[in-house]
Amino acid sequence: MNPANQRTAEGILFTDQYQLSMAQLYFRQGIHEQMAQFDHFYRRNPNYGLHEAGYCISAGLEWLVNWMQEVYFHPEDLAYLRSQRTRSGAQMFDEDFLAYLGEYGNFSQISLHAIPEGRVVHPNVPLSIVRGPLLMAQILETPLLNQLNYQTLIATKAARIREVSRAALVLEFGLRRGQERGANAGTRAALIGGADFTSNVGLSHVLGYPPKGTHAHAMVQVFLAMGHSELDAFRAYAECYPDDCLLLVDTVNTLESGVPNAIRVFEELRAQGHTPVGIRLDSGDLAYLAVQAAHMLDAAGFAQTSIVLSNDLDELSIWQIQSQIVDEAHRHAMDADAVIKRLIYGVGTRLVTSHGEGALGGVYKLVALQKDQVWHPAIKIADSPNKMTNPGLKQAWRLYDQRGQATADLITLEDEDPRQQPQITLRHHSDHSRHRTLHQHELTWIEPLLVEVLRNGQLVYDLPSLDAMRQTRIADVDRLDTGVRRIMNPHIYHVSLSPALWDLKQELLQAMGK
């Protein structure tokens, strides 16, 4: 794509045609500046092939906000819209509408509340709430969903990989397999969700993180093709990077050639006063080979070296590898924890492509419209109770029990504050027979989840650093019951409605004859 086209495709036209069609209709009706509120939420946790996840990790907000602050209808965007024709050949978008977009077609009147990046989030809870003139709030639907859905999906996958990897480091290796440039967003989300570092150089630079990496089979193959040996290749690498020497040992034969050659080179480095970093295994039975290699490295006095494992890994294979390592280590009278602690998982394809579940189904629904200065709640009727939206202006809260563990999320109307209520009733979002009551003394903390991010287009929130987002994620995951954290068959975390919100929903449904 040439740079001019790229700006057009990634600017304000990074939306669906129907948003623009509706925008013109609102303009024609004279309701385009009527204030509207849309909630963004998802209905179920991703299912990565091991049953639904127990939670998600929110991500993508900073990039969305940056985008919203940058884009507007450039003259060439308007010229393109001017060139669009209806079936009868008439101009699709009228001049007065285009002139309006030219003057007001930006997000400077939009206010945004959102759950910060790195936080644990749950189905049906508004992750972001957009309030602003109907026309621009409508156009925002597609780009907001695009950015928040993907990064949240990948951050969640990374959190699951983090969960099973325990003390081992996780490196994100997915750039070559990601969905083209979207892989950059995937890298960022993976770092928020659980990867410790990435091999993606550009993104590491953008985020202020050191990129990490080893070497590929190609380097050893080059030496072999030139009539040299694997040992020559390793020596050349060690000479180039004496203090960063991490060798891929499976090009020829892992245990017969790769590991012994690496040990020879490590001994040479040690003799010169350098500390070798480790080896990488990229094929075969990674648990068996990791323990065998650890045994050989220990015997040669390199117990501190790392062992990187890669090859189509995901949370399930890592889980299996960790458990097999316990057995393999036992067989060699080795300390399994010590082996696991020196492991580094390089995870690419299955992380950035979210293997098992290719998309997060986040939606953006109109929940209120202002008329004559008064907000009127809106609801979307659906055949399935699960698909009915929660109407009105809202806030979301997290309730922590006596142990400080998150026990439920509660969605209330905007003017409700459960912190002021002696007892809190939690209603199931669709089943009227299911509710429970909590008293304040049963809780240690009631936390509002949404923060104000944009007020009339102005940033009013201190965007946290990547480190801060990761600390947030670690603290939030720690406050989940272990049952909710499980990577398969997790406990269902309760997301409830306040009685006032429940009543409003019922009122609207009845008014619509449901």
Ligand X SMILES: O=P(O)(O)OC[C@H]1O[C@H](OP(=O)(O)OP(=O)(O)O)[C@H](O)[C@@H]1O
Ligand Y SMILES: O=C(O)c1cccnc1
Ligand Z SMILES: Nc1ncnc2c1ncn2[C@@H]1O[C@H](COP(=O)(O)OP(=O)(O)OP(=O)(O)O)[C@@H](O)[C@H]1O
Nearest CB to ligand X, comparing residues 145 and 203: 203
For residue 306, CA distances in Å to 100, 191, 303, 336 come to 60, 20, 8, 14
Q: Is 348 in the site for ligand Y (CB under 6 A)?
A: yes
The residue range among 124-132, 152-160, 347-355, 363-371 that interacts with ligand X, by the rule CB under 6 A, is: 347-355
| Nearer CB in complex with ligand Y: 250/328 | 250
Instruction: Show the binding pattern over residues 211-230: x = contacts ligand Y (CB under 6 A), - = does not.
Output: --xx----------------
Residue 118, binding choice from ligand Y, ligand Z, ligand X, none, Cβ under 5 to 8 Å by partner class? none
Out of 194, 276, 346, 392, the only residue in the binding site for ligand Y (CB under 6 A) is 346
* Spatial contact of 416 and 500, defined as CB atoms under 8 Å apart: yes
Give the CA count within 13 Å in the CB-facing half-sphere of 243. Answer: 1
Instruction: Give the residue from 218, 171, 221 showing the smallest Cα distance to 199.
Output: 171
Closest distance of CB 345 from ligand X, Å: 9
**Which helix (H) or strand (E) covers residue 6, if one does?**
helix 3-10
- Looking at residue 488, what DSSP letter applies? S
Q: Give the residue nearest to ligand Z (CB).
A: 283
The answer to whether residue 197 forms part of the interface with ligand Y (CB under 6 A) is: no
Residue the block writes with tokens 């990948």:
154
Closer residue to ligand Y (CB): 186 or 346:
346
Contact status: 178 vs ligand Y (CB under 6 A): no
Out of 38, 93, 97, 173, name the contact with ligand Y by CB under 6 A.
173
Nearest distance from C-beta of residue 424 to ligand Z, angstroms? 45
Backbone φ and ψ of 313, nearest 5°: -80, 155
Which position among 347, 360, 406, 454 is part of the footprint of ligand X (CB under 6 A)?
347
Considering only residues 282, 328, 416, 476, which one is a binding residue for ligand X as defined by CB under 6 A? 282
How many whole angstroms separate alpha carbon 303 and alpha carbon 338?
Answer: 9
Tokens of 474: 């670690």
Q: Judged by CB under 6 A, does residue 348 bind ligand X? A: yes
Q: What are phi and psi of 448, to 5 degrees?
A: -70, 140
In the bound complex, which residue of the shown chain has the CB atom lying closest to ligand Y? Answer: 213
What's the rounded Cα separation, in Å, for the pair 232 and 268? 13
Contact 344, 195 (CB under 8 A): no
Number of H helices, E strands in the chain: 19, 21
- The bridge status of strand 343-347 relative to strand 169-172 is parallel
| Contact partner, 286, from ligand Z, ligand X, ligand Y, none, Cβ < 5-8 Å per class | ligand Z
Tell whether residue 199 is a contact of ligand Y (CB under 6 A): yes
Q: Is 378 exposed, middle or buried (0-12, 13-18, 19+ CB in 10 A)?
A: middle
* Segment near ligand X (CB under 6 A); pick from 27-35, 265-273, 343-351, 379-387: 343-351
Binding interface with ligand X (CB under 6 A): 173, 176-177, 216-218, 282, 310-313, 346-350
Binding interface with ligand Y (CB under 6 A): 173, 199, 213-214, 280, 310, 346, 348
